[in-house]
Copies of this chain bind each other. A is one copy, B any other.
């Protein structure tokens, strides 16, 4: 069959902005780049798209290689395609952002690769335009989480309302009212109270909740204005 002759072919990469939450802070997973140039410098997790895979598959593959994890929340963020963004050779990158439960995959990560979790407010200089990707991913996370219940992806299966609230407060860098927060969250009817308490973090202990997976899937699209003035977080 005819080919599209005289058209320029370009390298395509998938890069992942991987967010985690350790109970206190939002974290970003970075690796030390293996390839020259800039080998040893910190970079997002990424790789070139292979002949037989889609971009989503490439992102999943790269993510799985690093974390051992398969069912990750993964969402296409946007393309980065400035002709000179990679000084070596033109490469268009498609950025994905991922949300994972940091505790679940801690061990696998650190042993296999030169990977490390960094505080999202203080991480090393990144190669190329990866800094820009992170900024865009942060903005998208804030925007999306203001309307959709995606932050659960960052928590373990069992979590408490105070933990959930801390996560929101960390993502938006705001303080929220406990009473209004729990009313709002519970009114979404996505959570089930367990008859077990988390006694680690307080004397009284806080009730554990878990996601009702059925309702979560069914209501995943639900739009709830969990955050006041979501305007600010537009992306």
Nearest chain B CB to A119's CB is how many angstroms away? 27
The closest CB in chain B to the CB of A2 belongs to B36
A81 touches B49 (CB 8 A): yes
Query: Which of B7, B51, B82 makes the CB contact (< 8 A) with A54?
Result: B82
Question: Contact residue range for chain A?
Answer: 35 or more
B9 touches A11 (CB 8 A): yes
Residues 190-235 of A contacting B (Cβ, < 8 Å): 219-223, 230-232, 234
A residues contacting B by CB (< 8 A) are 1-4, 7-12, 35-37, 48-56, 76, 78-79, 81-83, 87-92, 94, 147-148, 219-223, 230-232, 234
A7 touches B48 (CB 8 A): yes
The closest CB in chain B to the CB of A57 belongs to B81
> Which residues does chain B contribute within 8 Å of A231, judged by CB atoms?
219, 221-223
> Which residues does chain B contribute within 8 Å of A83, judged by CB atoms?
51-54
> Which residues does chain B contribute within 8 Å of A10, judged by CB atoms?
9-12, 49
> Which residues does chain B contribute within 8 Å of A79, judged by CB atoms?
55, 76, 79, 94
A-B contact pairs, 19 of them (CB 8 A): A3-B88, A4-B35, A8-B11, A8-B48, A8-B50, A8-B51, A10-B10, A10-B11, A49-B92, A51-B90, A54-B83, A55-B92, A76-B79, A79-B94, A147-B147, A148-B234, A219-B231, A221-B232, A222-B231
**CA–CA, A35 to B6, complex, Å?**
13
B76 touches A78 (CB 8 A): yes
**CA–CA, A87 to B234, complex, Å?**
38
Q: Closest 6 A-B residue pairs measured CB to CB? A: A221-B234, A9-B9, A55-B81, A54-B81, A7-B48, A8-B51
> Which residues does chain B contribute within 8 Å of A55, judged by CB atoms?
79, 81, 92
> Which residues does chain B contribute within 8 Å of A37, judged by CB atoms?
1-2
B4 touches A88 (CB 8 A): yes
The closest CB in chain B to the CB of A36 belongs to B2
Known: A9-B10, A10-B9, A10-B49. Contact between A1 and B223, CB under 8 A?
no
**CA–CA, A82 to B58, complex, Å?**
11
B222 touches A88 (CB 8 A): no
Residue from A12, A35, A94, A148 whose CB has the most chain B CB atoms within 10 Å: A12
